[in-house]
């Protein structure tokens, strides 16, 4: 449950930056934060009809391609210009694909995934921590993956760079304490992609003790708890229907 002090509209509401808010989980969380009374600054890579509605609901949006460091820096400058403090920095932006089949393609893919999963969170954290320390109970949360502990060879590049994000957050949990708390959420099979067929879905759910998709709501519930709990930093919250204790 989120801190009751941010449940209602305020003259100076808490501010959240959500990266990757253009679709799926990031879009869902941005909507939830708006409903909770946050001023939401959202980053996206590609424009969509959902983003137009999010903007009408009150979100302030910035387009940036995280494979380009200059655009990461531009996002930080934009945030610094628009607010005097930041309560939540959510590293949600993600790149996902099966591992490239050739060394040349893998080099390109690894560079892209490294920029999205590791360099962007590092630069944003460094460039926005001065805003975070001005807020009451500031929090950084990164969305990683249960695969960081049990990597899938078919997703080696994705798993490795998500594991790098986890390690980065563990370092920040130490270096930014006690002023800023840093935690991570590790989703499991929360929402299948449109490209996943029924055979794939059934195979994954058969290895998931709770035997169902979680949806985005359980991730939001974990995030709300991390925001509210002032005595948690360096924590990894698995939200995966028990899949991490089963055979991946």
Active-site residue flag, 158: yes
Count of alpha carbons within 13 angstroms of residue 60, beta-carbon side: 13
- Give yes or no for a contact between 76 and 131, defined as CB atoms under 8 angstroms apart: no
Tokens linked to 15: 């501010």
Q: Which of 44, 114, 147, 158 is the catalytic position?
A: 158
DSSP string of 145-212?
A: -GGGTS--GGGHHHHHHHHHHHHHHHHHHHHSTTTSEEEEEEE-SSS--TT--HHHHHHHHHTSTT-S
Q: Max Cα separation, the chain? A: 54
What's the residue count for the chain? 248
Task: State the DSSP code for 64.
Answer: -
> Residue 11 belongs to what H/E stretch?
none
- Give yes or no for a contact between 167 and 182, defined as CB atoms under 8 angstroms apart: no
Angstrom distance (rounded) from CA 48 to CA 179: 36
Q: Which residues are known to be catalytic?
A: 158
């Amino acid at each position: 449950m989120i801190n009751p002090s941010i449940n209602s509209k305020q003259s100076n509401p808490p501010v959240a930056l959500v990266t990757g808010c253009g679709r799926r989980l990031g879009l869902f969380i941005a909507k939830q934060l708006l409903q909770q009374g946050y001023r939401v600054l959202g980053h996206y890579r590609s424009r969509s009809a959902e983003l137009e509605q999010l903007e009408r609901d009150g979100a302030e949006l910035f387009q940036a391609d995280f494979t380009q460091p200059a655009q990461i820096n531009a996002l930080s400058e934009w945030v610094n210009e628009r607010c005097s403090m930041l309560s939540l920095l959510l590293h949600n932006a993600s790149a996902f694909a099966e591992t490239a089949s050739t060394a040349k393609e893998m080099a390109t893919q690894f560079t892209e995934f490294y920029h999205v999963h590791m360099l962007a969170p590092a630069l944003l954290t460094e460039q926005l921590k001065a805003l975070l320390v001005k807020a009451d109970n500031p929090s950084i949360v990164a969305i990683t993956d249960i695969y960081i502990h049990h990597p899938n060879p078919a997703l080696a590049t994705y798993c490795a760079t998500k594991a790098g994000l986890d390690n980065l957050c563990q370092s920040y949990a130490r270096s930014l304490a006690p002023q800023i708390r840093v935690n991570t959420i590790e989703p499991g099979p929360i929402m299948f992609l449109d490209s996943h067929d029924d055979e794939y879905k059934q195979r994954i759910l058969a290895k998931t003790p709770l035997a169902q998709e979680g949806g985005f709501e359980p991730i939001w519930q974990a995030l709300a708890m991390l925001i509210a709990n002032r005595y948690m930093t360096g924590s990894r919250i698995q939200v995966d229907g028990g899949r991490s204790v089963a055979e991946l």
